Chains A and B, each alone.
Chain A
Amino acid sequence: MSDAPQPTPQQPQRGHRRLVLQLLGLTAGSAAFGFALVPLYDTLCRQFGINGKSSVNAGEEKDATPGKVDLDRSVTVQFMSTLMPGLPWEIRPLETSVSVHPGELRTTRFLVRNASGEAVTGQAVPSISPGQAAAHLKKIECFCFRQQALGPGESKELPLTFFIDSDIDPNIRELTLAYAFFPAPANPKGGPQ
């Protein structure tokens, strides 16, 4: 600081130190806020069914109970599957759409086949549209709860058991459950629901 002038008496350097520390605190707070946005975003999306994310995690969802079946209404559920790059599989839903009453338990299956000569592990990630419906489609059993390993050339029928809860908006008569199949990451932080 050789050629920095001395602070004038009315502005002691002590005042600088305090303000700098406060500003560093603000910086640290902003950084923490940035990382806090990760769980916050996840929670908000699930709570409000944004981006077609389900409302609860796998553990809770498995224990969901259908309740009373509402025979007056029915909802058409369409199934889709997409293969992401790097996964040498063939996949398709065995039923492309089913009609269910709210509260009715239903099981459907997806056919997967490993087209390569090696064992490959995959992970399915669901997405539901319209987004508002995501909170009301409950999966009791789903192949997406865990990674799926297929041996060379092996094929499998993967089951999915779900119901639509009766709180669903009566205006929603059709919804789509789409699965994207990814090559399983080496070190999952807990499967998506």
Chain B
Amino acid sequence: MNTATIAHDGHGHGDHHPSGIMRWLTTTNHKDIGTMYMTFSLLMFFLGGLMILLVRAELFQPGLQFLKPEFFNQLIGNHALIMIFGALMPAATGFANWQIPLMIGAPDMALPRLNNWGFWLLPPAATLLTLPFILEFFGVGDGALATGWTFYAPLSIQGGIGVDFAIFAVHILGISSIMGSINIIVTIFNMRAPGMTMMKLPLFVWGWLITAFLLVITLPVLAGAVTMLLMDRHFDTHFFIAAGGGDPILFQHLFWFFGHPEVYILLLPVWGLIPHVLSTFTRKPTYGYKAQVYSFIAIGVLSLVVWAHHFFTAGMPVPALLYFMYSTMSISLPLAVLFFCWVATMWRGAMTFETPMLFALGFIVLFGIAGLTGLVLADVAADAQYHHSYFVVAHFHYALFTGGIMGVMTGVYYWLPKWTGHMYSEKLGKLHFWLTVISFNLTFMPQFFLGLAGMPRRIPDYALQFAEFNAISTVGAFILGFSQLIFAWNIWKCIKGGEKAHAKVWEGAEGLEWELPSPPPHHSWEVQPKVA
């Protein structure tokens, strides 16, 4: 994707930027930075995928075949951290960089140098996270973080150097995300084109605005929690050590105070972009704009007060259980409003099924399954049975793979022609969609049944009665993983060339970004548009 914007330098004034690697190291252009975020995200997506394919290979049959349990433990936690912090969050920030200035009629992001710094913190953080794998290979330390991505104390207090590396990686990733969020909020508040009021903002921008606020509010709490963990590990404090007067359950509260909003941080930008795609390919205006904006806000606020449903079984008084159960379930109300608006937008529309539309439709159906199984887990009585089982694994992959990753793919196919100036291959796109959707369900649908049957998550071995479903799941995972190569190949081909894209790539598209040529000039909106 790196060459996406190289071809169209030389517009307007002030284009004296260095070429080669220095261009990317020093760039303050929102499109260049957006491209770097997306490229980084794609690389991390494959790295995280590779890790979990090793895990699935081990789980193909009962017994231990390929991996030592210690290495298995390292892979699952790092898979999660890399997919969340390395793939999904940077992809969302990449979209924000590319699209927000184009969509609100701003010449660039508000704080371009901060923007550059925010991106260049990511590669060191990813290196810190994965370095212990390599160090162990050379006999230094005992491998990467092996506690699962949640760092639960007291296990994480006992862990090896991998925990320290992961703590510092989280610090750096947190700083990067907070800087990115501040930049996005300032851009949205201060850089809108004349006439673009808050209630005229594109929904994608609204979704990101809520995400940015959630990041600013919750990431410092995570940073604080891992800092306390670091101090417990090395500086004789006892935040989480029971013998010294601390409390390990406190860590779970601190972690999930961040961790639950994090789910919505990953999903809100996607919920924002889906209505644009639906409206474009049904050739109808978005249904219920205001209802969707208020739902975003409601979900953002509610997400901050429901965290303890992640550890119902840790021991809680009954009133607390009831509070967290009902507040969690109440999130399904604004979410149902969103689903209603999505479906209502399509109602009696003149629909066509280009790749972005297929992904959006797949998103709606599969993400619906995530929502419904989430209600089951929110039920305190049922959760006691399903907690820490494969039911949970299946549930959050329906939420984060279809809701997050497939949402990102929707956006990539939708805006890629705008970014590169070329159409991607519709044939490859559709092939990618169908392979992804079928193999995704093949991978994760059996995991619901495994969970219902009682298979615990995070264990490298399992009882014989789980063998068939695990074998199916592993086959699905490998098809799913290798199908993504089609995605990468399609993107690469689209960057390199192909049919020229019009300014308004899609016949039914609405919004400021489609008024600029494809690809947009290096400096877009030097004269801000007026919004009626």
* Chain A interfacial positions (CB closer than 8 Å to B): 1-5, 8, 10-11, 15-16, 19-20, 23-24, 26-28, 30-31, 33-35, 37-38, 41-42, 45, 48-51, 84, 123, 125, 131-132, 180, 182-192
Specify which chain A residues have a CB less than 8 angstroms from the CB of B237 in the assembled complex: 189
Some 30 contacts from A to B, beta carbons below 8 A apart, are A1-B113, A2-B28, A4-B28, A4-B113, A5-B108, A16-B110, A19-B185, A19-B190, A20-B186, A23-B185, A26-B216, A27-B182, A27-B216, A27-B220, A34-B223, A34-B257, A37-B221, A41-B253, A42-B247, A48-B317, A50-B317, A51-B247, A51-B315, A123-B243, A180-B242, A184-B243, A185-B243, A188-B244, A189-B237, A189-B244
Q: How far is the CA of A127 from the CA of B463 in the complex (A)?
A: 35
Q: Please name the 5 residue pairs, one residue from A and one from B, whose CB atoms are nearest each other, closest first.
A: A182-B243, A34-B224, A31-B220, A34-B221, A30-B220
User: A146 → chain B, closest Cβ, in Å?
Assistant: 12
User: A4 → chain B, closest Cβ, in Å?
Assistant: 4
Determine if B112 is an interface residue (Cβ-Cβ < 8 Å): yes
Specify which chain B residues have a CB less than 8 angstroms from the CB of A49 in the assembled complex: 317
Specify which chain B residues have a CB less than 8 angstroms from the CB of A35 in the assembled complex: 224, 228
- Of the stretches B13-21, B57-65, B410-418, B431-439, the one at the interface is B13-21
User: A125 → chain B, closest Cβ, in Å?
Assistant: 5
Chain B residue nearest to A50 in the complex (CB): B317
Q: Are A189 and B250 in contact (CB under 8 A)?
A: no
Determine if B191 is an interface residue (Cβ-Cβ < 8 Å): yes
Specify which chain B residues have a CB less than 8 angstroms from the CB of A185 in the assembled complex: 236, 238, 241, 243-244
Specify which chain B residues have a CB less than 8 angstroms from the CB of A11 in the assembled complex: 190-191
Chain A residue nearest to B218 in the complex (CB): A30
Q: Are A132 and B317 in contact (CB under 8 A)?
A: yes
Specify which chain B residues have a CB less than 8 angstroms from the CB of A1 in the assembled complex: 28, 112-113
Chain B residue nearest to A185 in the complex (CB): B244
Q: Are B178 and A27 in contact (CB under 8 A)?
A: yes
Q: Are B220 and A34 in contact (CB under 8 A)?
A: yes
Determine if B78 is an interface residue (Cβ-Cβ < 8 Å): no
Chain B residue nearest to A123 in the complex (CB): B243
Q: Are B17 and A2 in contact (CB under 8 A)?
A: yes
Known: A27-B216, A41-B253, A191-B245. 15 other contacts (CB 8 A): A4-B112, A4-B113, A8-B107, A19-B190, A23-B182, A26-B216, A30-B219, A30-B220, A34-B257, A41-B250, A42-B250, A50-B320, A180-B242, A187-B244, A188-B244
Total interface residues in chain B, CB < 8 Å: 56
Q: Are B317 and A131 in contact (CB under 8 A)?
A: yes
Determine if B229 is an interface residue (Cβ-Cβ < 8 Å): no
User: B14 → chain A, closest Cβ, in Å?
Assistant: 5
Determine if B526 is an interface residue (Cβ-Cβ < 8 Å): yes
Mask for B159-191, Cβ within 8 A of A = 1, else 0?
000000000000000000010011001100111
Q: How far is the CA of A5 from the CA of B238 in the complex (A)?
A: 50
- Most B CB contacts (10 A, CB to CB) among A1, A38, A123, A187 go to A38
User: B157 → chain A, closest Cβ, in Å?
Assistant: 11
Q: How far is the CA of A38 from the CA of B15 in the complex (A)?
A: 52
Determine if B329 is an interface residue (Cβ-Cβ < 8 Å): no
Specify which chain B residues have a CB less than 8 angstroms from the CB of A50 in the assembled complex: 316-317, 320
Q: Which of B190, B228, B241, B523 is close to A5, meaning CB atoms less than 8 Å apart?
A: B523
Q: How far is the CA of A38 from the CA of B246 in the complex (A)?
A: 9
Determine if B239 is an interface residue (Cβ-Cβ < 8 Å): yes
Once A31-B221, A50-B317 are accepted as A-B contacts, the answer to whether A38 and B216 lie under 8 Å apart by CB is no
Specify which chain A residues have a CB less than 8 angstroms from the CB of B27 in the assembled complex: 3
Q: Are A23 and B186 in contact (CB under 8 A)?
A: yes
Q: Are A3 and B244 in contact (CB under 8 A)?
A: no
Determine if B230 is an interface residue (Cβ-Cβ < 8 Å): no
Q: How far is the CA of A126 from the CA of B338 in the complex (A)?
A: 48
Chain A residue nearest to B12 in the complex (CB): A5
Determine if B67 is an interface residue (Cβ-Cβ < 8 Å): no
Q: How far is the CA of A132 from the CA of B241 in the complex (A)?
A: 23
Q: How far is the CA of A63 from the CA of B190 in the complex (A)?
A: 61
Specify which chain A residues have a CB less than 8 angstroms from the CB of B236 in the assembled complex: 185-187
Specify which chain A residues have a CB less than 8 angstroms from the CB of B238 in the assembled complex: 185, 188-189
Q: Are A37 and B254 in contact (CB under 8 A)?
A: yes
Determine if B498 is an interface residue (Cβ-Cβ < 8 Å): no
Specify which chain B residues have a CB less than 8 angstroms from the CB of A5 in the assembled complex: 14, 107-108, 523, 526
Q: Are B245 and A188 in contact (CB under 8 A)?
A: yes
Determine if B2 is an interface residue (Cβ-Cβ < 8 Å): no
Determine if B352 is an interface residue (Cβ-Cβ < 8 Å): no
Determine if B225 is an interface residue (Cβ-Cβ < 8 Å): yes
Specify which chain B residues have a CB less than 8 angstroms from the CB of A38 in the assembled complex: 228, 239, 250
Q: Are B245 and A192 in contact (CB under 8 A)?
A: yes
Specify which chain A residues have a CB less than 8 angstroms from the CB of B317 in the assembled complex: 48-50, 131-132
Q: How far is the CA of A174 from the CA of B242 in the complex (A)?
A: 25
Mask for B510-532, Cβ within 8 A of A = 1, else 0?
00000000000011001010000
